[in-house]
Structure 1
């Protein structure tokens, strides 16, 4: 009977948790996807790049909102059970409150491990894949970059300006500056229009001239019609690998280099504080999840008939949100000093012990009964 009761309570908690997690995550993802439209519209990327890039950011969103969804879901479920007098069934069937605490504590350890895997493996991999999509993609919708009366330097080394655009999609008085390694190329044209040649849209310029500087040599020629090449052009989007995109194994190797263990030198290994912060976020922050579940379990200590029940609810919610804020703000206190970082890292373990001792004190238990 106890197994059925525990299974029912766990199922209700996890069902609400996953609904909240993916529901909130989807809403945030949709809003973020709207912001990422700039990748396609302003930067000239195609729909396939845009879709893959936004989709690969979903694991990161899930990992960020998981602590909030976990605390909210479990707290709501315990309050609902108490309001419907369902917890009384547990106590009438001989279920000890400390048994529920211990049961959900071990469940929280499993959720913590899942979050750790998510932050340490899945999120960095998805972020690296997202940037890889940008690195290997081309600017396909070049016409989106040309806006009348507006200079555009989205393309690396390229500045474009058009004075006007008529109803026939023709650009008037186009200025294009293309910076090269040993000089530059400036092109003026009275008219420009995109034409389809083969399976590519090409910017065709009419009645203009091109000024080219190559070292100390300067050449100038006029043209009546000229195709402007748009292939192999990249934008100013940041596509290099950041610390957040590195594998956990790579970051640990960087820590080894900080302590004098020789490894292949990389740029990211030259920022110890940022490496410590990233490792803290991936390996230490998940330990706050058991703390959040233990705090939500404080709701079972006082029944709704007790005058202190509402005060206990407010205390639990404020404590839970305080822990979420603490877990996020702790990153700001990470320094280059390993000793200080260790002290910050053991904080979730200390809080877990304190809360567990509260249960022991409130339930008047001895360690033999545990």
Structure 2
């Protein structure tokens, strides 16, 4: 009977947790996906790149939403059980509150380990794959690059302008400037321009124009009645260099090894020998921040300590919610206090352990030595 009761309470908590996690993450993903439309509209990428890049950012969203969803779902479930007098079933079957607390504390540790795996392996890998898709993709949605009466310099070294676009898709009075170096450039004027599909690639065909070439301070020009302007093998201004968030956890530890232990100082990507603060922050986010998850569950478990018949129950309920959300904010903002000093970082690393011990000792003391007052 006890196993059934525990299974029912746990399933309600986890089901609500999964629904809240996926629901909130999906809402955030939709808003973020709208922002990613710039990859197509302004940067000229195709829809496959946009869709892949958007989906690969979903694990990152889940990892950010998980602490809030965990605290909210567990707190809501405990409040619902207390409101429906279902927690009394535990106490009538001889279960102690400390046993229930230990059970959910163990579950929170399992969720913490899952969060560490997500942050340490899944999120960096998905971010790296997403960025690699941008690096390997071509700027091939060129119609979006030409906006009537607006200069567009999304592509590096290229500025495009068109006076208007008619209903047939023809661009009128096109201006194109292409810079190869600081001193060398090419300027093209054309009365009309049309995109044509050739060998599964879009080609901008210009009609009735002139091209000016400047090379080594020498200017040449020629007129044309029809000319193809190739836009392949061009890069946008989008940052495609690998960021520290996209590097594996192993690479980050190897960076620290290279700084403090290895005698041969090797230059590594995003590994600054004199200032490894960013590496510390990233490792803190992946390995230390998840330690606050068991603490959030312990905070929500305070809701089973007081009966709804107690006059202070409502005030305590709001107080616990305030403490939980404050702890979430504190855990996220503590990353900003990471420095190069190991002593300061050690203090920040020890804080979640200290908080967990304090909260658990509070439960242990109250339930074992002050039980008559509960």
What residue is the counterpart of 2:38 in the other structure?
Answer: 38
Instruction: For 2:223 and 2:137, locate their aligned partners in 1 and report how far apart those are by CA, in whole Å.
Output: 33
CA distance in 2, matches of 1:125, 1:196: 35
Residue 338 of structure 1 corresponds to: 342
The residue number in structure 2 matching 1:274 is: 278
Distance between the aligned counterparts of 2:48 and 2:200, measured in 1? 17
Alignment partner, residue 239 of structure 1? 240
Matched, 1:71 2:71: yes
SS, match of residue 238 in structure 2: coil
Offset, 1:232: 1.4
C-alpha deviation, 1:263, in angstroms: 5.3
- 2:256 counterpart residue number: 255
User: Match of 1:104?
Assistant: 104
- Partner of 2:16 in structure 1? 16
Describe how 1:132-151 pairs up with structure 2 within 5 A.
Answer: 132-151=132-151
Note the alpha carbon deviations across 1:205-254, whole angstroms, 9 max, x for none. 11111111233443221111100011112211111100110111111111
Equivalent residue number for residue 93 of structure 2: 93
Checking the alignment, whether the CA contact within 8 Å between 2:140 and 2:201 is kept in structure 1 is no
Structure 2 residues not aligned, in runs of 5+ = none
RMSD of Structure 2 on Structure 1 (CA): 1.4
Contact 1:301 1:362 (C-alpha < 8 Å) held by counterparts: no
Structure 2 CA distance, aligned partners of 1:199 and 1:21?
Answer: 41
After superposition, the C-alpha distances for 1:73-104 in whole angstroms (9 at most, x for unaligned) are 00000000000000001000000100011111
Q: Distance in 1 between matches of 2:113 and 2:197?
A: 54
**In structure 2, C-alpha distance between the alignment counterparts of 1:294 and 1:22, rounded to whole Å:** 23
Residue in structure 2 matched with residue 363 of structure 1 by the alignment: 367
Looking at structure 2, the residues matched to 268 and 130 of structure 1 have their Cα atoms a distance apart, in angstroms, of: 18
2:229 maps to 1:225 = no
Query: Which of 185-194 and 13-22 deviates more?
Result: 185-194
Report the 3-state secondary structure (helix = DSSP H, G, I; strand = E; otherwise coil) of the residue aligned with 2:270.
helix
Q: Which residue of 1 aligns with 2:4?
A: 4
- 4+ residue stretches of structure 1 with deviation over 4 A? none
Structure 1 window deviating more from structure 2 (118-127 vs 139-148): it is 139-148
Partner in structure 2 of residue 310 of structure 1: 314
- Provide, for residues 14-49 of structure 1, a one-character-per-residue CA deviation record: whole Å limited to 9, x for no partner: 010001000111111111111111111221111111
1:166 deviation in Å? 2.2
2:325 corresponding residue in structure 1? 321
The alpha carbon displacement at 1:365 in A equals 4.4
Match of 1:295, SS state, is helix
Structure 2 match to 1:117? 117
Greater shift in the superposed pair: 183-192 or 47-56: 183-192
1:265 aligns with one of 267, 286, 294: 267
Distance in 2 between residues matched to 1:352 and 1:200, nearest whole Å? 59
Structure-2 residue corresponding to 1:194: 195
1:143, CA displacement in angstroms?
A: 1.2
1:174-212 deviations in Å (ceiling 9; x for gaps)? 111111146111111122111233433211111111111
State the TM-score, normalized to the length of structure 1: 0.96
DSSP-derived class of the 1:363 partner: helix
Q: Could you give the per-residue CA deviations for residues 135-171 of structure 1, whole angstroms, max 9, x where no partner exists?
A: 1111121011101110000111111111222232221
**1:354 matches 2:341:** no
8 Å contact from structure 1 (residues 272, 336) kept in 2: yes
Please tell me whether residue 48 in structure 1 is matched to residue 36 in structure 2: no
Structure 2 CA distance, aligned partners of 1:5 and 1:365?
27
Q: Name whichever of 270-279 and 322-331 sits farther off.
A: 270-279
Q: More deviation in 194-203 or 244-253?
A: 194-203
Q: Is the 8 A contact 2:49 2:137 kept in 1?
A: yes
Deviation at 1:339, TM superposition (A): 1.2
CA offsets, 1:101-140, max 9 Å, x none? 1111111110000000000000000000001111111112
TM-score normalised by the chain length of structure 2:
0.95
